[in-house]
Structure 1
Amino acid sequence: MSIELINCGGCKKRITEDEVTKDQVVSLLNRIWHKDHISCVYCKLTISDGRFFKSSVDPMRPSCYACHIQTTHPACVGCSLPVIERGLVAFDRLFHIDCFRCAICNRTIPQRKGFYERDLMLYDDVCYMMYIKDAPNPPMRSPMSNN
């Protein structure tokens, strides 16, 4: 039986029958790759942990787990990191639960407790009442939804 030789999806060099026999190649995204030549289309680092995803910029090139998360998950308004599991949406802005904090005391505002918002800044009830006296008191608001 003869094996048809094709080029590696990464280095573009011919894959030899010997490399196939020695399990030095892998099928990925409908192409054959040398295991050492699977690199992320975004960060260009070799993907050695086996976690790769089809990239959105080139469906024939993989992305690593970190770049996949970075490019496919929305960012938290508080820290700019992607929200992967659970988030909190307030005023059409997405936050990590731990990033939903008072602008004055920097304490996390509990989900079940109300908060105030003024000029896109969040305040817990105590800080708002103590430090934002000159503003008209808007009604107490609760987070709109959880993700």
Structure 2
Amino acid sequence: MSVETSVVDSIELINCGGCKKRILEEEVQKDQIVSMFNRLWHKEHIECVYCKLQIPDGRYFRSTVDPLKPSCYACHIQTTHPACVGCSLPVIERGLVAFDRLFHADCFRCAICNKTIPQRKGFYERDLMLYDDVCYMMYIKDAPWTTN
């Protein structure tokens, strides 16, 4: 590491990670500064790298696009969790996998009656559509386009 790089690094450490302006001692004393990702930030300059909204509550996460920039909780979830096939929203806790596709439990529904298919109950799939056992037997099983 050259002397020039070392000087640049130390200057960045005493400058706000958001606005790049110098952190003043009185700002530190007035509790207007936060240490985040090994840098100092003015509280009002902590904004999400994705949605550009200020993150006032301290619930920030290291973004996936720039490890030195924060993301808010909502954008963190949106960018780091897989999406449900049924609603396209992220699956945060538990989901159901059928035919290598991920669903929320509430989005795992019959294509005909739109009722949620219970996890422990059987289901059928045809052309990437899901069916509960009743609808499949009534409408799909013996349909003329079905191959046996």
Q: TM-score, normalised by structure 2?
A: 0.87
Measure the CA separation in 2 of the matches of 1:117 and 1:49. 44
SS in structure 2 of the partner of residue 56 of structure 1: coil
**Identity of counterpart residues, as a percentage?**
83
Q: Decide which of 123, 126, 142 is 1:115's aligned counterpart.
A: 123
Measure the CA separation in 2 of the matches of 1:80 and 1:49. 27
Query: Following superposition, which runs of at least 4 residues in structure 1 exceed 3 angstroms of deviation?
Result: none
- Structure 2 unaligned blocks of 5 or more: 1-10
- Structure 1 unaligned blocks of 5 or more: 138-147
| Pair 1:34-2:31 in alignment | no
| Pair 1:104-2:112 in alignment | yes
CA deviation string 1:51-83 (max 9, x = no partner):
000011000000000000000000000000000
Partner in structure 1 of residue 61 of structure 2: 53
Measure the CA separation in 2 of the matches of 1:26 and 1:50. 9
CA deviation string 1:76-122 (max 9, x = no partner):
00000000011000100000001000000000001111111000000
Amino acid at match of 2:113: C
The structural deviation recorded for 1:13 is 1.0
Higher relative contact order (CA 8 A, sep 6+): 1
CA deviation string 1:11-38 (max 9, x = no partner):
1111111101111000001110000110
Q: How is 1:62-73 mapped onto 2 (pairs within 5 angstroms)? A: 62-73=70-81
